[in-house]
Amino acid sequence: METVSENRAFGGVQGVYSHASTETGTGMTFSVYVPPHEAGAKLPVLWYISGLTCTHANVTEKGEFRQACAEHGIIFVAPDTSPRGEDVPDSAEEYDFGKGAGFYVDATREPWRKNYRMRSYIENELPGLIAENFPADMARQSITGHSMGGHGALTIGLRNADRFKSISAFSPIVAPGQCPWGEKALGRYLGEAREAWREYDAVALIEDGARHDHILVDQGTADDFLKDELKTGLLALACKKAAIPAQIRMQEGYDHSYYFISSFMESHVRWHAERLG
């Protein structure tokens, strides 16, 4: 692991780091905020999974999470959204597919299957790197994310309910198998057999038996993507049918931007902190 930058913030350190990933076969960059803490202490970890077109930098620079993380003593980890590099397959004319749009799947179709392994990268490889290099208590982890990253947070959290104490999301894609963004990405990364898509679809995972007692979602009512792509109501219905006590909050007048995310970031960090202990 190499240090790209480190800056003092709210008594802690905001760092950006890079490493050679064995899962994606590329160099990967991620950010970690470590709050002030006593020597030898182990701190809980909150993962933030970013959305379409984003990198680690979007939330790191605009998310306004550091003060809350410093107050509650939480490490904040922000991975990238896809593999990067000149040799990585891409669809440059499409913002919602290819680089910046990994959808947190392990692709099974060519030419994507070699590098587009963001599920294994987030679930397996990067946690090992965090545990090795930071004062992280990996027995206390939670996860959150935005949009495509909200889809990632929900699906990763539901598939690994024993690992994550709590799951939250800002304007997530809740049912990619039922929206244009998701149908495009899952069909091309995984193939046309929709049964293979279900483990990457929060609503389908719940329908198939996945459960978690601590789910929080904030969704803006002025979000241009709400009706066709995000479909928050499908998650609310799935949780109701499964008797999952999810908090799904419709926030009046808020859109899809980081103005929205930063407005509610503190409440998400605090909510996770209560469950991380």
Is-catalytic flag, 256?
Answer: yes
Q: Report strand pairing: 43-49 vs 2-9.
A: unpaired
Phi-psi region of 47 (alpha: psi -120 to 50; beta: other; left: phi over 0): beta
Is 147 among the residues known to form the active site?
A: yes
Classified as helix, coil or strand, 164 is strand
> Which of 31, 223, 268, 272 is the catalytic position?
223
**Residue from 56, 72, 146, 256 carrying the catalytic annotation:** 256
- Which is catalytic among the residues 50, 142, 147, 168? 147
Q: How far apart are CA 214 and CA 19, in angstroms?
A: 32
> Three-class SS of residue 153?
helix
- Residue type present at position 193: A
Contacts of 241 (CB under 8 A, 6+ apart): none
Residue 115 structure tokens: 């590098």
User: How far is 91 from 163, CA to CA, in rounded Å?
Assistant: 34
Q: How far is CA 35 from CA 32, 38, 179, 264, in A?
A: 10, 10, 38, 20
Question: Which residues carry out catalysis?
Answer: 147, 223, 256
